[in-house]
Amino acid sequence: MSTGAGTRTGYQDCLIGGGRHELLRVVTPGGPAAVRELDALVVTKVSVGPMDNNAYLLECRGTGELVLVDAANDATTLLALVDDRPLARVVTTHRHRDHWVALEEVVTATGARTAAGADDVDGIPVGTDEPLADGDVVEVGQASLEVIHLVGHTPGSVALLYEDPSGHPHLFTGDSLFPGGPGKTSGPEAFASLLDDVSRKIFDRLPDDTWFYPGHGKDSTLGAERASLPEWRARGW
């Protein structure tokens, strides 16, 4: 694969937040994909486009069904990952352009359905087949991901939670949560809304070994970030 996306790298053990976790190797635009194989789900991470966006291809190991989280850019790379397998849907985590540049090309090529937070669909120029609300479920074959609505980075931003029955939770956060803090907001009110939602819906609910996958850059765990919540609120960004 000329983009390098077909080369797969895995995880290596490291210590984060006092516990042992697997570290997803850094991905870069045009570089190799990184793959995590869970019992029921395979997570493939690539970086695409000039803003180093992460896109995640989720594959049900029982049925082979695929779901793509953010057709952010570089449709050639994303379609090469899908290959000739059945792509059921593309979930767009929020309406910012860098997260849907390749959406139209990917859904045209694959026939996949589209999904996005209901309050963001007007900002996405490709029609949304499945507007998502808090508590909805996105199916990936035999695996289920819960939609978590997080207001602040955009009005309709969503995260996707996979509670692995044989392991720890996995959370795809878009640009609402990164290692080091919440995503960018338009002002103090939006920041307070986002941090309140992230605190209540994510940190208050999920354990420290929850692994989260942001829309740009490296992954982290909630345990590695939890102690910084007061600092984030005090600094206001």
Give residue-wise pLDDT tens across range 128-166. Answer: 999 999 999 999 999 999 999 999 999 999 999 999 999
User: Using an 8 Å Cβ cutoff, are 212 and 181 in contact?
Assistant: no
pLDDT of residue 45: 97
Q: Is 87 exposed, middle or buried (0-12, 13-18, 19+ CB in 10 A)?
A: buried
Per CATH, which fold does 8-235 belong to?
Metallo-beta-lactamase; Chain A (3.60.15)
| Tens-digit pLDDT profile for residues 28-86 | 998 999 999 999 999 999 999 999 999 999 999 999 999 999 999 999 999 999 999 99
Structure token digits, residue 141: 């074959």
Distance CA 9, CA 187 (A): 39
> What string of H, E and C letters represents the secondary structure of 69-134?
ECCCCCHHHHHHHHCCCCEEEEEECCCCHHHCCCHHHHHHHHCCEEEEEHHHHHHCCCCCCEEECC
pLDDT of residue 25: 59
| Tens-digit pLDDT profile for residues 166-191 | 999 999 999 999 999 999 999 999 99
| Tens-digit pLDDT profile for residues 7-29 | 444 443 333 333 334 445 579 99
> What are the domain boundaries of the chain?
8-235
pLDDT of residue 94: 98
pLDDT of residue 53: 97
pTM of this prediction exceeds 0.85 = yes
pLDDT of residue 216: 96
